[in-house]
Every structure is written in structure tokens, then in C-alpha cells.
Chains A and B, each alone.
Chain A
Amino acid sequence: MMPLVQRYFWRALFAVTMAAGAYATFLRFWGGLGASTNLSDRFPWGIWIGFDVLCGVGLAAGGFTLAATVHIFNIKSYHAVVRPAILTAFLGYLLVVVALMFDLGHPYRIWHPLIMWNPRSVMFEVGWCVTLYTTVLFLEFLPVVLEKFKMHAALKVMKAVTLPIIIAGVILSTLHQSSLGSLFLIMPNRLHPLWWTPLLPVLFFISAVATGLAMTIFESWHSAKAFGRQLEYGLICRMTRVLAVITAVYLTMRFLDLSHRGALATLNQPGIERWMFGLEIVLMAVPMLMFFREKTRRHPLAVYLGVVMFLLGFVANRMNVSVTGLERAAGVSYIPKWTEVAVTLAIIAAGFAIFRLAAHYLPVFEEERHEEAAGPTSPRIPTLQGATAQGD
């Protein structure tokens, strides 16, 4: 009985989310930004930028991370997760563009940066990179569609241009993942010292790479559950180790930077900042420590919880940079209006739904590759439900 209840619960939740999102969309475009958001002259960017754009782009970083791992570094065991990662990235970027249309005062002018240049602007560069990279992701995902419809001639052409496309994708991603951090370089004395640093672009890039891996594990877990597939568990174990190492590098750089700038002293100052900083660090450090332990890595549920925690830590970081860290200087405290939250939730829900549909109808997961991916020595857990039930 449980699955049936569960199924209707999720469908009902989806319907409610989309209905609320639709109403919020109406309010946004009929009433304007003033009526539908808690933004103000003092606080012009809210969660549509802080979460939908900053987090959305970061959460879609798996596309370039995995493409580089497999196609550039030629680590073949990751092959099974490249396509889902690219699909996530492609959908992620499309949804980021949709979200941006809500935030822009003149959404129909979203193409303006392509012809009205200002090369000194980080936003200009991000606009170009995101446009080009979304095209790259389309091309990277195209073979999946071509395969489905057995268009072999076109597939051959695509195969010949794979390498330049992949390289372009990795470079474009490197540029705009870091540039999302550079967006905040212009406010050195207003963004709280716990977050403002000349290293913002580097930190944004490293954390995006880690988040790309975390998202790939997250969606492998979910698609295994949703499609009754086998989980490439050996692969996931290896990915958590890489995730732990990248997080260690990230946190080391973060703390070295904080200490060199003397920013750690601000932890003595009362206020919300130090708690939000603590939250962000704990949510990243705890999964890192978990993934360094062999015992955790062997426990699928622990891996899942660790990954979710890490993703929340990533979101906390981006929200801190774009909201928490700016509130003191702005002299206001921003809490999103329900319409802002409703639009964001609807976009997330749409993302999940479209991913599910695409994964269902297109050859995103290739069954024959699982054997090779898992490897002979890695622990092989037959099905996820079985594994969690064992509580091994």
C-alpha cells in the first residue's frame, strides 16, 4: 500500500507546487516586481538571483565535471554517469534562464548582452558564457536524442566534433562558474568579510566542481530508486572519495584566506553572520569527514545523507554570499515573499519532472555499461532498497 500512497502524495505535492507557482507567476508579471517580491532599493537581489541563478548554475556543474573526467581525463569507469550529469546540466541551465526571466525587469531583453557589449562587466561575460555553454550542453546531449531515433549519420558527425565541444564546455564552465563569484568582487566593503575575498572566483569554481560531483551522486541515487535500476555503487564510493578531497582543498583554501585577511576575528562580533557562516562550514565539513571514513562510504543511506548535507552547505554558501553577507551593509533584513518562494519551488519541481520524463523516454542510462562501471572488486549492492534495509 505504501508505494501507492507515496505515489499520490508526490503527485499531489507536484500539482500544488505547480499551481502555486502559476499563481505567483501571474502576480509577478501582472503586478510587477514590487508587488511580488520583498526586494527594495536597498536590497535589489533576492532568492531568484541568490538561489535560482547562483545555486542553479552550481548544481548543474556536474555536466562539465563529468564530461572532463571521462572525455578529457579518459577515466572510463565514470562513463555511466556522464549522460545523466549532462542532462541535469542542460535542464539546469534552461531552468536558470527561465528563473532569470522572472527576475529581470525587462525579461524580453535577455538577449541584449549579446549585441550591446560591455566587456568590463562580469555579468556580460556570464551572459555570454551561459548562452554558449547551454548551446554546448545541447550539443553534448544531442547524441542521446540521435541514438533514440537511430540517426547514425548525424551521430557520426557529432562524434567527430566531440573533443572541441567538450573542451569548449569545460572552459566556458570554468569561466562562468568562477565569474558568478566575481560578481561580488565589486562590493569589498559591503559584503561581510567572512565572504568577500579576492579569491571569490576561485572558491566558487572549486565548490562548483565538488557540487557537480555531489549532484551526480544525488541523481544516481534517485534515478536508481525511481527506475528500479542498479546503483553503480562502486563508482559512487569512488566519487565520494573525490568529493571529500575536493571539499578538503576548498575548506583549506577558505580558512587560509579567512585567516590571512584577519576575517576570523569577525566571528567574535554578534549577529546572524557568524551563525550562518558556521552552518555553511559544518554542512560541508561533516560530509567531508563522513566520506573519509570507509564505514560511511559502504553505507548507501549515509552516503545519501552526506551528499544532501553537502548540497545544503553549498546552497548555504551561495545564499550567504548573495543575501546574508549583504544585509548588514544594506541596513535591511530580507526575507523572501511567498511568491518568490513559490516560483523557486515550481522551477525545482519542473526540473525534477522534466528530468524524469527525459530519463524515461531517452537512452540516458545505458544498462550494458553498468558492469564495466562498477568494476570487479567494488562492493556490488543488488538494489538500493535491499542495501538500505540491510543497514550494513
Chain B
Amino acid sequence: MARAILFDSTQCIGCRQCEQACSEGKNLPYDDKIAAEEKTSAHKLTAIRTYGERFSRKLCMHCLDPACASVCPVAALQKTAAGPVVYLPERCMGCRYCMVSCVFGVPTYEWNSRLPYVRKCDLCADRAPKGEPTRCAEACPTGATISGDRDELIAEARKRLAENPEGYYQRIYGIEEAGGTSVLILSAVPFEQIGYPVNIEKTALPQYTWAALKHIPDVVVMGTVLLGGIHWLTHRKEEVARKEGRP
């Protein structure tokens, strides 16, 4: 079972209980001022955003094949079998390539710290082994956020779309975005209208890099043969001269 979240924005009332539960669980400060910041940051790992009457939630999408984990030179970000993309601060050297690579703009940085770390939602990885719901899902009073197995949540989302064709924009955000994510989102309107990027590749992003990276062993072998060969050809004269005892 791979843990996932289903966020049904049509049921979100913007109460921000998820934000508060998240901050409390992660020992982060939370007050009215922070609640009003409608964006994620190093001290706010999930954020409710207001779009007129509608609300949407930003949090780490926990991609199935995350760009951040693929680009990290020290494997400080890892996709776990249980679902969460976790961060190992003791490895991080602070290059921030994860932040640059994330198509959802999720990883944030402790810019004001002298020895800063990356911060992002970890899908309550500490709770995953026990099978408990994430803190945000537990706190949500309307059931807009629920956590569970990804396949089951997809089935649930499909059921909702089928049962209420007028109420939903007929797509599940997260099935194919960036090759699939562990956070799935439903909406009444097209996703770009409530703040989700839609100009996103349908294949896993690490493939773009791998297309180049996979050639490296061949470049090394071919390069050695080629350069050694050219050297042999271009230095023939000297070699002959040496054999004949000329300077």
C-alpha cells in the first residue's frame, strides 16, 4: 500500500484546520498572521489559498518519480515505498537544485537561517508505518482532505466524478501530472483557476535528464578509444624517429 492524499477542493471551506494541525505536528509556529499567508514557506508546509468562493490547498505532491529526488546530488530527498518523499537534512549540502527542479514549486528554504535546510511536507512519514492518517486529513472537518492508499483514492475520486458530473471538472489532477503524484486533487473548475499549474509534462521529469545522463559510460569508453587512437596516429612520426634512434 502506497500512501496518498485525496484533496477534494469542492468540499473545502477554507477553515485552515489542516494548516494548524500540520504546523503543530511539525513544531512550527502558527498564528493569525501566518494563517493569512496564502503560500507555503519554510514555516508553513501547506497553505490554503482563496480564489473567490473557492479554496485550494498547496502541499508537496509526492510525485511517484520525483524530480527533486532525482536531482539531489547527495540523495537527501528520497521517494519511499510507503509513498512520502522524505528529506534527510543531515545529508543536505544546500545546493537548492531540488527547489529549481520542482515543477510545483514545493521545496522551500530557511533563507534567514545561517545554516539553512529545505522544508517541505513529508506526508506525515512518521505516521505512515502505523497506517494512521496524515495530520491534515485527521484535522479536516469536512473530509475535503483524506489520506489512504493511492489506488483506492483514485477509485474514490472516479466515483465522485461519475456520481456528480455537474459538480466536478471531469479530471483528476495528479494521475498523470509529472508522471503521476501521490496527492490527487478534484475541482469544480479547471485546475488553473484555483492555482494549480497545468502546463506540466505527463511523463516523469527525471526521464529528461536520464536521456542525457545514460550516455556517460559510453562517452567515457568511446572517448578513451578515440583520443588514444588519435594520439597514436598523430604521434607516429615521433615513434618512428625514436625507433630509428633519431632525436
Task: Decide: A105 and B213 in contact? CB cutoff 8 A.
Answer: no
Is B81 in the interface zone, CB < 8 Å from A?
no
Contact across chains for B95 and A175 when beta carbons are under 8 A apart:
no
| Contact A186:B101 (CB < 8 A) given known A32-B116, A120-B210 | yes
- Taken together as a complex, chains A and B put the C-alpha atoms of A200 and B162 apart, in Å, by 44
Contact status A118-B105, CB under 8 Å: no
Which A38-92 residues have a C-beta within 8 angstroms of B? 39-42, 44-45, 68, 71-74
Chain A residues with CB below 8 A from B113, complex form: 32, 34
Does A121 lie within 8 Å of B70, measured CB to CB? yes
A123 touches B223 (CB 8 A): no
Which of B109, B114, B234 meets A44, CB within 8 Å?
A: B109
CA distance A45 to B235 in the complex (A): 46
Q: Does A359 contact B (CB under 8 A)?
A: no
| In the assembled complex, B34 has its CB within 8 A of some CB on chain A | no
Docked CA distance A275–B116 (Å): 36
The answer to whether A116 and B114 have CB atoms under 8 Å apart is no
Instruction: Indicate with 1 or 0, residue by residue over A178-208, a CB within 8 angstroms of chain B CB atoms.
Output: 1100110111111000000010110000000
Could you tell me the distance in whole angstroms from the C-beta of A320 to the nearest C-beta in chain B?
A: 15
Shortest CB-to-CB span from A323 to chain B, Å, is 12
A117 contacts across to B, CB distance below 8 A: 75
Q: Name the residue of chain A whose CB is nearest to the CB of B94.
A: A105
Taking a contact as CB atoms closer than 8 A, the residue among A39, A72, A109, A326 that contacts B92 in the complex is A109
- Say yes or no: A186 contacts B223, CB within 8 Å: no
Query: Measured between C-beta atoms, what is the minimum distance from B236 to chain A in Å?
Result: 9
Which single residue of chain A is at the shortest CB-CB distance from B200?
Answer: A189
Interface residues of A in 83-118 (CB under 8 A from B): 103-107, 109-110, 112-113, 116-118
The 8 Å CB contact of A72, one of B112, B115, B234, is B234
Which segment of B5-13, B25-33, B148-156, B224-232 sits at the interface? Answer: B224-232
Of A166-174, A284-292, A305-313, A374-382, the segment with at least 4 beta carbons within 8 Å of chain B is A166-174
Q: Are B103 and A189 in contact (CB under 8 A)?
A: yes
Given A105-B96, A109-B93, check contact A121 B111 (CB 8 Å).
no
Q: In the assembled complex, which residues on chain B have CB atoms less than 8 Å from the CB atom of A42?
A: 105
B220 touches A175 (CB 8 A): yes
Chain B, Cβ-Cβ closest to A126: B73
Contact (Cβ within 8 A) A112 B111: no
Which residues on A sit within 8 Å (CB–CB) of B72?
118, 121, 123
* 20 CB < 8 A contacts A-B: A29-B114, A34-B111, A34-B116, A41-B107, A104-B94, A105-B94, A105-B96, A113-B74, A120-B209, A123-B71, A123-B95, A123-B97, A126-B73, A167-B231, A170-B223, A175-B216, A185-B211, A189-B103, A189-B199, A201-B212
A contacts, CB < 8 Å to B: 29-35, 39-42, 44-45, 68, 71-74, 103-107, 109-110, 112-113, 116-118, 120-127, 163, 167, 170-171, 174-175, 178-179, 182-183, 185-190, 198, 200-201, 326, 330
